[in-house]
Each structure stands twice: as C-alpha cells, then as structure tokens.
Amino acid sequence: MEIMTKVTQKSDHWADMEEAGAFWGLKFLALIYRVAGRRICLLFMFPVLLCFYVFKTTARRSINEFREKLSRKSGTSQTGYWHGFSNFLNFGGAALDKLAAWNGDIKREDIVFPGSMQSLFELDADHQGAVLFVSHLGNVEVIRASAALNEPRPITVLVHTKHAQKFNKLMTRFNRDSQLRLVEVTEIGPEVAMQLKACVDRGEWVVIAADRPPVQARGNVLTVPFLDHAAPFALGPYVLAHILEKPVYLVACVRVGETFVIEWSKLADKLTLQRKNRRMSAEKWAADYAAWLERVALKYPDQWFNFFPFWASHKD
C-alpha cells in the first residue's frame, strides 16, 4: 500500500502550510495553562485569534465557505462575521481542552456517551481492535482522555504534521502514562501499514482523520457529496481500513457547555473493497462517512475546525 511521502514543493494544498507556529504556540499555551489556568489562557488567546481571523485570509474564507454551504443546506442563516469568528474562538477553546486532556483535568463525569454507554471502549469490549475515522470537527483529544480514564489501551493517531514527535513529547510531559501515539502520515508505507495491522490485531485502536485529501498523489481522491456540493475525500483511509480488517467507527467529540458529547456511528464491521472496483466501492463508504459528518456538522457548526479550502478542487 502506498500512502504519502514527504512534501517538498510549496502550493496552496492544506498540507503545505506552515505548522511550526502552531506547535510553538501550543507549547506556549501549555506553559500559561499550567501556571494560570484556562480563563487566563483564553484572555491571552482572544487577540491572537482575532488577528488570525482578520489576517489569515485563506482560513477566514474557508470557514465562510463552509458557513455559506451549511446555511443553504439547513435553511437558516449561519453566515456573518460573528458566525465565522465563533469557529476561531471555539478552536482556541479546543486547544485548551487538548491541554486539559493531557493534564488529566477532564473527569469521567465531564464526558457524555450515547444511551447507557460508560466508555467508548464498550464498542470493542472484547479487545478485538478497531479503526476510528475522525475529522476536524470537535476535539479528538478528549477521546484520548476518555481512554485514560477508563482503561489503558494504546491508541495510534495518524496525523498530517511533521511535528508529530514533538507533540508526542509535549503530551508525555503533561501525562507520562499517555497511551496516545502520533504517527506522521506522510511517512506511512507498506511496512508501517503492516505495523498498524499488528497493532489492531493486539486489540489496539488506530485513529485517522478521513476528511482531507491526501498529501501526495493528490489526484487520488474520492468525490462525494458534502453539504450538497462535490467534495474531495482521501482514498487512503478506506484502503488502510480494508488492510486492517477491523470494525470501523465514525467518532467525534464536541463540547456542549461544560461537558463533552461523544457522537459516533459504526461504518462497517469490516470495511472491504472490491479488487476490480476499488474506487467505486470506496466511494460508497466515503459517501456514508460524508453523510454522517454532514449531520454532525449541521448539529455543531461552531466546532468545524477545518481552516483550509475544503471544496478547492471542485468549485461550483
């Protein structure tokens, strides 16, 4: 399986945008958070987020585009300066929630599961292993926190950042017992795919964001409807899920007041792709994923944190 190698040429693709500032900014926030707490952090962040909203044209336009399409889909007004800025404010709050998760400040009673569930791991009570598709909606770090609060099960998260090892060290500094491991997606090849296969066969979980086009082989996308417009989704997550041969769940964690709500759905007991019609069968799964993501986005529009042109390859 061939998935993504290093990117050296600059472009407008989301993966080519600088992420070092994000890492050092988070490191600075971690220091303030430890010393002064969440409220003081929010005060520090407000002018930074406002500047980000005003001067980061690509990010602002991307959120506005999402808001416009969401407004047409829902039939309600979701546009305007405040609506757009609310995504930036919530993104700042989500960054602090990451720090709280790493620091063990999020308690079991802060996390709300559907029905009578007490832990997300009830989806895999027999330790058979699972694949979780997440997105840039909500805060996946709280899912990691819920793991630490319930049972020490290793979780590998595939990320699109060259700073994965730095983030690993930062998380370990906050919580030495963290079972979370970040793996840079741009370095995944057949050997790493087989290592991930060994992980899930041991009952571990693999988490991958499935709502962005691939870093390399950028034409290798699946085009499915999202908010009534053709949008590109990566083929890679479905190929990887096919190789891992484990149940696939769609998961998002959203903040509602002072609590965190886990939204989830099972995509497949085992995601399979037809050998002769791999793309066509993958598009079916991607359409199901996009439909679920759309429902959650309509429910929690302020927690959409994809600040890159989502429909860039498919302008209407």
In tens, the pLDDT along 48-90 reads 888 889 988 989 999 999 999 999 998 887 777 888 899 999 9
Maximum pairwise Cα distance, the chain: 58
- Distance, CA of 82 to CA of 78 (rounded, Å): 9
End-to-end CA distance of the chain: 33
CA-based nearest residue to 218, from 243, 230, 236 = 236
Length of the chain: 316
Residue 6 counted as domain residue: no
Examine residue 111 and state whether it is found in any structural domain, yes or no: yes
- The DSSP result for 137-155, as a single string, is BS-HHHHHHHHHHH----E
In a domain, 50, yes or no: yes
Higher-pLDDT residue of 188 and 65 is: 65
| 8-state DSSP, 19 | -
In a domain, 8, yes or no: no
For 83-118, what is each residue's pLDDT tens digit? 889 999 999 888 888 878 777 788 878 888 877 787
Q: Read off the pLDDT band of 218 (50, 70, 90).
A: low
Q: Give per-residue pLDDT as tens, 243-296.
A: 999 999 999 999 999 899 999 999 999 999 998 888 999 999 999 999 999 999
* 45 has a pLDDT exceeding 70: yes
Instruction: Please give the C-alpha separations between residue 89 and each of 80, 298, 303, in angstroms, as whole numbers.
Output: 15, 18, 9
Whether 63 is covered by a domain: the verdict is: yes
Could you tell me the pLDDT band of residue 219, with boundaries at 50, 70 and 90?
A: low
Domain that holds residue 34: 14-303
Whether 106 maps to a domain, the answer reads yes
Confirm whether 67 is domain-assigned.
Answer: yes
Structure tokens at 266: 């099972």
Q: What pTM was estimated for this model as a whole?
A: 0.83
Q: Round the CA-based radius of gyration of the chain to a whole number and report it.
A: 19
Q: 157-167: per-residue pLDDT in tens?
A: 776 555 445 55
Asked if the structure places residue 308 within a domain, the reply is: no
How many domains is the chain built from? 1
